[in-house]
A = this chain, B = another copy of it.
Amino acid sequence: MLHDSSEGNRSFHYGFLSQQPLASATLGIETVKLGHSTEVPRNVNMESLQSGYLFPEISMRESEHIRKHPDARLIRLGIGDTTQPIPDIITSAMAEHAFALSTVKGYKGYGAEQGNMALRTAIADKFYKDMGIEGDEIFISDGAQSDISRLQMLLGSNVTVAVQDPSFPAYIDTSVIVGQAGKFLKETGKYRNIVYMNCRPENNFFPDLSTTSRTDIIFFCSPNNPTGHAATWQQLKKLVEFAKANGSIIVYDSAYAAYITDPSPRSIYEIPGAREVAIEISSFSKFAGFTGVRLGWTVVPEELRYSNGYPVIKDFNRIVCTCFNGASNIVQAGGLACLSPDGFQALRTVIDYYKENAKIIVDAFQSLGLKVNGGKNAPYVWVQFPGSSSWDVFAEILEKTHILTIPGSGFGPGGNEHIRVSAFGHREYISEACRRLKNFL
Residues of A within 8 A of B (CB): 6, 9-10, 13-14, 17-18, 20-22, 26-29, 32, 34-46, 49, 79, 81-88, 90-92, 94-96, 98-99, 101-104, 106-113, 116-117, 136-137, 142-143, 145-146, 148-150, 153-159, 170, 173-174, 177-179, 216-217, 243-244, 246-249, 273, 276-277, 289, 291-294, 302-311, 313-315, 317-319, 321-331, 334, 424
Contacts and interface: CB of A to CB of B under 8 A. Distances in A.
Given A153-B153, A318-B49, A28 B174 contact: no
A299 B276 CA distance: 42
Contact of A109 (B179, B291, B323): B291
Contact of A107 (B14, B18, B83): B83
Contact of A36 (B112, B305, B329): B305
A29 B305 CA distance: 11
Contact of A326 (B159, B179, B292): B292
Contact of A112 (B9, B94, B313): B9
Contacts of A173: 322
Contact of A177 (B99, B294, B319): B319
19 contacts: A17-B321, A27-B311, A29-B313, A34-B309, A40-B155, A41-B216, A41-B307, A42-B308, A44-B158, A46-B156, A79-B110, A84-B107, A85-B102, A91-B102, A95-B98, A107-B289, A142-B146, A174-B322, A177-B322
A27 B153 contact: no
The main secondary structure of chain A at its interface with chain B is loop
Contact of A323 (B83, B146, B155): B146
A14 B149 contact: no
A153 B46 CA distance: 9
B35 A276 contact: yes
Given A110-B292, A153-B153, A153-B177, 20 more contacts: A10-B112, A14-B113, A17-B113, A21-B314, A22-B314, A22-B317, A29-B313, A36-B273, A37-B305, A38-B276, A39-B246, A40-B217, A46-B156, A85-B101, A110-B291, A142-B325, A143-B325, A149-B322, A149-B324, A294-B326
Contact of A91 (B36, B38, B101, B321): B101
B330 A109 contact: no
Contacts of A330: 94, 98, 293, 328, 330-331
Closest 10 interchain pairs by CB? A39-B247, A149-B323, A43-B156, A95-B95, A42-B306, A81-B109, A292-B329, A37-B305, A94-B98, A109-B291
B38 A249 contact: yes
